[in-house]
């Protein structure tokens, strides 16, 4: 998931799955195992802000080809 934040100075951001293994960056395939709570943290010299989102995966692609 992309995590964006504004601030002065511009904060660094990090988004990670809460309680689960991190995904490989750039991986676009999604499965039901990716469902769960994701936490985004934005931090600069003035402090941090944290937000979370619940991700639900309703179906997953099966097979290796397109149109499956």
Q: Measure the CA dihedral 14/17/19/20, to 10°.
A: -120
Q: CA-CA distance, 49 to 6, in Å (whole number)?
A: 11
Q: Please say whether the beta carbons of 59 and 31 come within 8 A.
A: no
- CATH architecture, range 1-23+30-58: Sandwich (2.60)
For range 29-55, the mean pLDDT:
92
Instruction: Give domain limits for the chain.
Output: 1-23+30-58
- Assign 33 to helix, strand or coil: helix
What percent of the chain lies above the pLDDT cut of 70? 74
For residue 64, the model assigns a pLDDT of: 56
Asked if residue 63 has pLDDT above 70, the reply is: no
Say what the pTM is.
Answer: 0.68
Euclidean distance between CA atoms 62 and 29, whole angstroms: 10
């Amino acid at each position: 998931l992309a995590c964006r934040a504004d601030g002065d100075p511009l904060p660094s951001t990090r988004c990670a799955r809460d309680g689960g293994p991190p995904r490989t960056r750039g991986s676009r395939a999604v499965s039901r195992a990716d469902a769960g709570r994701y936490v985004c943290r934005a931090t600069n010299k003035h402090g941090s802000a944290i937000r979370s989102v619940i991700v639900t995966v309703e179906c997953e692609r099966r097979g290796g080809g397109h149109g499956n």
